[in-house]
Amino acid sequence: MGASLRCFAFCTLLIAMLSAGVNGRMQKDELVQLRIEELLKSLKNGSTVDRVNESELRNEQAVSNPEEIVSLVETSIKNSTARRELGYFSCGTGNPIDDCWRCDPKWHLNRKRLADCAIGFGRNAVGGRDGRYYVVTDPSDDDAVNPRQGTLRHAVIQDEPLWIVFKRDMVITLKQELIMNSFKTIDGRGVNVHIANGACITIQYITNVIIHGLNIHDCKPTGNAMVRSSPSHYGWRTIADGDGISIFGASHIWIDHNSLANCADGLIDAIMASTAITISNNYFTHHNEVMLLGHSDSYTRDKIMQVTIAYNHFGEGLIQRMPRCRHGYFHVVNNDYTHWEMYAIGGSAEPTINSQGNRYVAPSNPFAKEATKRVDTNEYVWKRWNWRSEGDLMLNGAYFTPSGAGAGASYARASSLAAKPSSWVGTLTSDAGALSCSHGRLC
């Protein structure tokens, strides 16, 4: 009789747990653990004949016969638990960045947790984690040399680490480049912030920057003006190209969950020996030359460059350079390529490109099905470059042209995280771009 009751109680528990899986984004493994503890407590308070010891109940989780439901729950537990690499509970999306912080309805009370959620080559970028909060209250940008306190420009030039947030929704039209200082986080979560219709962001000769949750678009060339870069220095700036985010001789940079479109030059460019960069969870649309990684074929210092491009959505109205690479090592992993007109990934000057678990959807143009392009290089040269496609999903006739001998050491330097199956890409990138977050709710 006791065994029958235990079996009935356990099956009831498992069915309830599966049903609970539809409740928002609550993580399955935490729910399983909670319900098991509740059941153990109730059983221990019951009669001796119906009491089940803890080890017996936990062992039953792994039994696949006769109840198939037990096996399903066990699989769910294992899959969810395996995603706890960053030390926080999992929402079960499989996206390790989002699973690290988005499940917490009190995320706004612990914003700096985000700094511990980075992945890839830029995973050690701490931004302003070790500094105070700075609240931007003023969207104006009237004076690039003597910025007013409370403006974004005043915040980013400070010498101390800062975690920069925004008091309300705002559109910031910059008159000149926003030249950042080291150890800064720009955190747009909880509000709708646009940097648009003027100059945009420059990360030059500095380190440890996180940019998260911004809408960056319609950036224009500016310059031939004095611009302050720190409390103690300002100088003459020549004409800027009009990039959305320009990374120049910088390291430990993380660009995450931004929406970028329609700038005068690149949406994100990294050049001049920049390295240790992660570009993740961004939404790119309506642009020609999306991303340049590497200054020129002759600038060999870019051989140190290591960039991770993960969980991004490359969407409507894009033409080329997603990215266009030179010299360095590039891990392109679990991105969704839904639009290109010329090509998706290109390069010159012998870059190493490691494409894993991406989804490539070719355009209808029969002459643009190839996802790859070697720029202005003869085949007998580029055949030695190490470019590989591993586990990518090719749709609508898309194809990736590999090359090289596949040297293990080369790909090791172009590997920065474990790729998920390409069948997961839709889920991994479903929330790419700036998020709509509300205080007190899951983001």
6 is catalytic: no
Beta-sheet pairing, 225-230 with 251-256: unpaired
Query: Tokens for 411?
Result: 């790909």
Q: Largest Cα–Cα distance of the chain, in whole Å?
A: 87
Other Cβ atoms within 10 Å of 302 Cβ, number? 24
Return the closest-CA partner of residue 341 out of 309, 312, 316. Answer: 316
Nearest-angstrom CA–CA distance, 109 and 107: 5
- The CA–CA distances, whole Å, from 403 to 47, 227, 334, 407 equal 69, 45, 20, 11
Collapsing DSSP to helix, strand or coil, 389 comes out as strand
Determine how many CB atoms are found less than 10 A away from the CB of residue 437: 18
Q: 162 to each of 127, 145, 213, 225, 414, how far by Cα in Å? A: 8, 20, 16, 26, 31
E strand map for 286-356: 287-289, 291-293, 306-310, 313-314, 318-320, 324-326, 329-333, 336-337, 345-348, 352-356
Q: What is the dihedral of CA 282, 392, 317, 350, to 10 degrees?
A: 90
Q: Are 129 and 68 in contact (CB under 8 A)?
A: no
- Of these residues, 237, 321, 326, 359, which one is catalytic? 321
Q: Active-site positions?
A: 321
